[in-house]
């Protein structure tokens, strides 16, 4: 019996978002700065709403999360040749953003919870002299943020949180993304809000958001941003910060605004489906689920597990057998890049070729499955 539903089918955009998008298209005013005097664009409204949701003053809507990470690094001061610590297990746009900013990725091993290995992080912070940590909460797994913050303090690290998979999640009651100097979120189709492509950048620092807004392509229209500091904050940077043009437009903001209102409800729905799946997987002697810290209030839009009994030659056969039954799975241990599952050793532009033994061992038997909200949480 085959599985009938698609693992890549998303929920429909809310009617409010569709109607707002149609109105924007009818007006022709898709550009965020195409507003009447005193009017807040839909992009402005999204930034204000997300900054309120996250409890920060400053927010910038971008064309993608990868772009947001790039200008976050630049706004924090990353220059050509600067070393940036980064999870070895992440998606390709993360080291790509470091490279784009002129930085050099220093890959850090991971642990069996799929989080950055904190002992290896300490060792590499000490040995590398890096002053930046780009921390990916990969596939929604949140590191021990208490120890992360201590390491950042001990080694004077500026922290950029990649929250592409943790929008709406928390560590010990504190929002994921509210720990670092900057945090970036994704609104790409398979993330927690869907605008096809898109990103959101937040920061508590007025100097960082000022640079980020000019990097994003504000020209000299920075005073038209409302989730931002007063225009005086831009005086020191407006002539020295390049325009990299990566703004979000009003069309994407239109379909995101009503999704933000539904976000917490959707996070609960994802976890309902996650626990329904994990309860079934627990009945198998072959499957080993990822342990989650009690302090981690995660949002599980995907599920990961290990099948340690299988050999590397058996995983492709498992993938084929699952596909024949209509079930889409990804294997992170493949020696060749496949879709979004490229492994660190396929990023040949990274100069450090040090083998990451723990990462290799952990990814060797790791399976990933998306959990679409078009699924129900009950077996039918």
What are the pLDDT digits (tens) for 243-282?
999 999 999 999 999 999 999 999 999 999 999 999 999 9
Residues 217 and 132 grouped into a single domain: yes
Local structure of 44: helix, strand or coil: helix
The token pair that represents 324 in the structure block: 């024949």
Please say if the pLDDT value at position 379 is more than 70: no
- What whole-number distance in Å separates Cα of residue 167 and Cα of residue 175? 8
Find out whether 188 and 165 touch, Cβ atoms under 8 Å.
Answer: no
Residues 237 and 347 grouped into a single domain: no
User: What confidence score (pLDDT) does residue 37 get?
Assistant: 87
59-115 pLDDT tens trace: 999 999 999 999 999 999 999 999 999 999 999 999 999 999 999 999 999 999 999
- Among 258, 282, 303, identify where a domain stops: 258
Residues 225 and 334 grouped into a single domain: no
Find out whether 365 and 307 touch, Cβ atoms under 8 Å.
Answer: yes
Residues 271 and 191 grouped into a single domain: no
Going from the C-alpha of 294 to that of each of 142, 146, 156, 172, 297, the distances in angstroms are: 11, 13, 28, 8, 8
14-38 pLDDT tens trace: 999 999 999 999 999 999 999 998 8
Residues 192 and 283 grouped into a single domain: no
313-339 pLDDT tens trace: 999 999 999 999 999 999 999 988 888
Domain of residue 357, CATH code: 3.90.1150.10
Residues 232 and 113 grouped into a single domain: yes
Minimal CA–CA distance to 159: which of 177, 141, 138, 173?
177
- What whole-number distance in Å separates Cα of residue 71 and Cα of residue 76? 8
- Among 214, 241, 258, identify where a domain stops: 258
The token pair that represents 109 in the structure block: 């091993």
C-alpha dihedral (41, 45, 51, 53), degrees to nearest 10: -160
User: What confidence score (pLDDT) does residue 262 get?
Assistant: 98
Residues 6+ apart with CB under 8 A from 373: 10, 11, 266, 269, 270, 273
Please check whether residue 2 lies inside any domain of the structure.
Answer: no
Please check whether residue 133 lies inside any domain of the structure.
Answer: yes
Range of the domain at 182: 15-258
User: What confidence score (pLDDT) does residue 380 get?
Assistant: 54
Please check whether residue 378 lies inside any domain of the structure.
Answer: no
Handedness of CA 203, 207, 210, 216 (dihedral sign): negative
The token pair that represents 372 in the structure block: 């679409």
33-73 pLDDT tens trace: 999 988 999 999 999 999 999 999 999 999 999 999 999 99
137-150 pLDDT tens trace: 999 999 999 999 99
Residues 175 and 289 grouped into a single domain: no
Please check whether residue 234 lies inside any domain of the structure.
Answer: yes
Phi-psi region of 218 (alpha: psi -120 to 50; beta: other; left: phi over 0): alpha
- What whole-number distance in Å separates Cα of residue 69 and Cα of residue 62? 10
The token pair that represents 289 in the structure block: 């689920």
Please check whether residue 209 lies inside any domain of the structure.
Answer: yes
277-302 pLDDT tens trace: 999 999 999 999 999 999 999 999 99
User: What confidence score (pLDDT) does residue 233 get?
Assistant: 94
Residues 208 and 326 grouped into a single domain: no
Res. 1 pLDDT band, cuts 50 70 90: low
Q: What is the number of alpha carbons within 13 Å of residue 162 lying toward its C-beta?
A: 33
Please check whether residue 167 lies inside any domain of the structure.
Answer: yes
Residues 6+ apart with CB under 8 A from 377: 269, 272, 273, 275, 276
Q: How many domains does the chain have?
A: 2
Domain of residue 118, CATH code: 3.40.640.10
- What whole-number distance in Å separates Cα of residue 63 and Cα of residue 95? 18
Residues 6+ apart with CB under 8 A from 60: 47, 68, 200, 201, 202, 209, 212, 213, 216, 225, 227, 228
Strand duo 199-203 + 58-62: pairing: antiparallel
Residues 284 and 238 grouped into a single domain: no
Residues 130 and 28 grouped into a single domain: yes
213-244 pLDDT tens trace: 999 999 999 999 999 999 999 999 999 999 99
Please check whether residue 281 lies inside any domain of the structure.
Answer: yes
Residues 157 and 275 grouped into a single domain: no
Residues 120 and 254 grouped into a single domain: yes
Q: What is the pTM of this model?
A: 0.96
- What whole-number distance in Å separates Cα of residue 292 and Cα of residue 213? 36
- Among 225, 241, 258, identify where a domain stops: 258
Please check whether residue 333 lies inside any domain of the structure.
Answer: yes
């Amino acid at each position: 019996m085959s599985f009938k539903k698609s693992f890549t089918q998303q929920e429909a955009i809310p009617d409010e978002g569709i109607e707002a998008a149609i109105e924007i298209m009818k007006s022709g005013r898709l550009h965020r700065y195409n507003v009447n005097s005193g009017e807040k664009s839909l992009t402005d409204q999204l930034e204000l709403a997300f900054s309120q949701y996250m409890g920060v003053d400053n927010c910038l809507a971008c064309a993608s999360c990868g772009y947001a990470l790039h200008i976050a690094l630049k706004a924090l001061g990353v220059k050509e040749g600067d070393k940036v610590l980064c999870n070895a297990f992440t998606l390709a746009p993360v080291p790509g953003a470091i490279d784009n900013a002129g930085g050099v990725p220093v890959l850090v091993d991971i642990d069996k919870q799929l989080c950055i290995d904190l002992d290896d992080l300490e060792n590499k912070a000490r040995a590398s002299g890096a002053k930046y940590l780009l921390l990916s909460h990969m596939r929604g797994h949140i590191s021990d943020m208490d120890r992360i913050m201590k390491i950042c303090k001990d080694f004077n690290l500026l922290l950029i949180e990649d929250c592409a998979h943790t929008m709406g999640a928390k560590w010990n009651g504190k929002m994921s993304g509210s720990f670092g100097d900057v945090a970036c979120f994704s609104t790409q189709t398979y993330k927690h809000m869907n605008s096809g492509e898109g990103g959101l950048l937040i920061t508590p620092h007025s100097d960082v958001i000022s640079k980020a807004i000019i990097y994003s392509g504000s020209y000299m229209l920075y005073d038209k941003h409302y989730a931002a500091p007063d225009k005086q904050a831009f005086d020191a940077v407006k002539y020295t910060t390049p325009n990299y043009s990566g703004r979000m437009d009003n069309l994407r903001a239109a379909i995101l605004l009503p999704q933000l209102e539904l976000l917490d409800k959707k996070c609960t729905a994802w976890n309902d489906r996650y626990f329904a799946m994990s309860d079934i997987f627990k009945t198998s002697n072959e499957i080993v689920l990822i342990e989650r810290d009690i302090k981690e209030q995660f949002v599980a839009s995907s599920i990961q597990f290990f099948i340690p009994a299988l050999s590397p030659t058996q995983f492709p056969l498992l993938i084929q057998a699952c596909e024949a039954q209509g079930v889409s799975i990804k294997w992170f241990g493949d020696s060749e890049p496949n879709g979004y599952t490229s492994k660190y050793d396929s990023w040949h532009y990274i100069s450090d070729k040090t083998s990451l033994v723990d990462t290799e061992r952990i990814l060797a038997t790791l399976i990933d499955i998306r959990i679409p909200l078009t699924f129900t949480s009950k077996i039918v």
